[in-house]
Chain A
Amino acid sequence: MLRVEDLDKNYGDNKVLKGVNLTIEEGEITVIVGPSGGGKTTLLRCISALTEPDNGSIIINNKYLYKHGKRAQKKDELEIRMDMGLVFQNFNLFPHMSILENITEAPRVVLGVRIEEVKNKGKEILGFLGLSNKENSYPFQLSGGQKQRVAIGRALAMEPRLICFDEPTSALDPSSTGEVANLIKKLSVEKGMTVLIITHDMTFATMVADRILSMDNGVLKNEHMYI
């Protein structure tokens, strides 16, 4: 589903990613753990095409987003992006849009789906996430956990094959770690989603992961120091 080959990224003299290789199979939940500054977030940003890698390839669903450091062409890039959803650490919901609009805008505007259809699907997603009564609320009225579920719903609405999470437990109180883990497992089981998670929360990682990798100093390792 996702393949990363020899990915390099430098910020000046600082080598953040040093030839990272990663393969994630369809339907798998992969967690990358490691200390801050180890390059996890940069890797995720490269996979989301928010940061340009210096070299290496990223292949999502058999299509090259980056080939040996060269970005896909504009029109292909959008199509490749659509196979991938990202849930940000601080969610980045659109504060001026209602919860339902947050979820329906992208399919309506980017994919051109009819408004009735996106609304029905949006409501269905909110139901799946246990937020049916919140469709007309605004993000500021929700708790951290609810905002996160909206952010997940916003990504799901684009029907990605791969969904990535950046530090999904860091903005929530510790008691909701289990809830998030269950929700992500539900995504994997019920929606057949491939999941990639970046975190330094080891408890959470062991709860949710099919496979845990560790990253430090720009290098990804199969084994990790915590187990």
Chain B
Amino acid sequence: MNNLINLLPQVFQGLKVTIEVFILTLALSMPLGILVAQGRLSKNKILNKITSGYILIMRGTPLLLQIVFIFFGLPIIGITFDRFPAAILAFTLNYAAYFAEIFRAGIVSIDEGQYEAAKVLGFSQKYIFFKIVVPQAIKRILPAVANEVITLVKDTALVYVVGLDELLKVGKIASNTEASLMPLLVVGIIYLLLIAVFSEVFKKLEKRYNYYQ
């Protein structure tokens, strides 16, 4: 019990890093995902090819590898990042690819008739996209976005590879020094609590969109 209390300050430090990576990645990868989705939907062939290639690379290689490449690989060609920005950059690029595909799926799922009805009424392209397509797309993609967000909470553990002391690493070190599984159990419960909170948030969001079908 005493050991556990001594452990708490480190656990909170680790939790802080985990949450920072989580929030920054979400805040940056979602807008980037919207842009990439636009590229994938664009009629411009070059833009389409570029974004398709980007998505293939980001989804086709392990995130761990991408972090390693950005932090240890890019300095070879003269581009250097600190640990934390390197991790955020890798996470953002990776998650934007997944979000882009989810957003794209949501947008193309909207029936052509919605565009046509809006066009006949004289709505502008901008209005049609933001007020007719996006609200309906959000309702449809919420479960998929929730999946990504939950995966992200656990993926943050990968930043250990650039030497950042996130939650799971703190637990592992404590577990080794004390030769006990207790610290790992503690961090496991913290992950679970975090994800329970986010699941609840998404449930509420889905409920808010339940007023129509």
Contact = CB atoms under 8 A, between A and B. Distances in A.
Interface residues of A, number: 26
Contacts of B212: 95-96, 138-140
A126 B80 CA distance: 65
Contacts of A85: 120
Contacts, number: 56
Interface stretch (A12-20, A58-66, A86-94, A167-175): A86-94
Contacts of A154: 121
A90 B123 CA distance: 20
Contact of A96 (B113, B118, B119, B139): B139
A140 B113 CA distance: 16
Contacts of A90: 113
B122 A92 contact: no
Contacts of A105: 121, 123, 131
B132 A94 contact: yes
B192 interface: no
B139 A106 contact: no
A88 B112 CA distance: 12
Nearest to B112: A92
A109 to B, nearest CB: 6
B211 A92 contact: no
Interface residues of B, number: 20
Interface string B184-213: 000000000000000000000000000111
B202 to A, nearest CB: 19
Contacts of A155: 121
Nearest to B118: A94
B113 A106 contact: no
A92 B121 contact: no
A110 interface: yes
Contacts of B13: none
Contact of B117 (A49, A81, A92, A109): A92
A84 B114 CA distance: 18
Given A88-B113, A92-B113, A50 B121 contact: no
Interface string B119-145: 111110001000110011001000000
Interface in A112-140: 138-140
Interface of B: 111, 113-114, 116-123, 127, 131-132, 135-136, 139, 211-213
Give the top 4 A-B pairs by smallest Cβ distance, nearest first: A92-B117, A92-B113, A140-B213, A106-B121
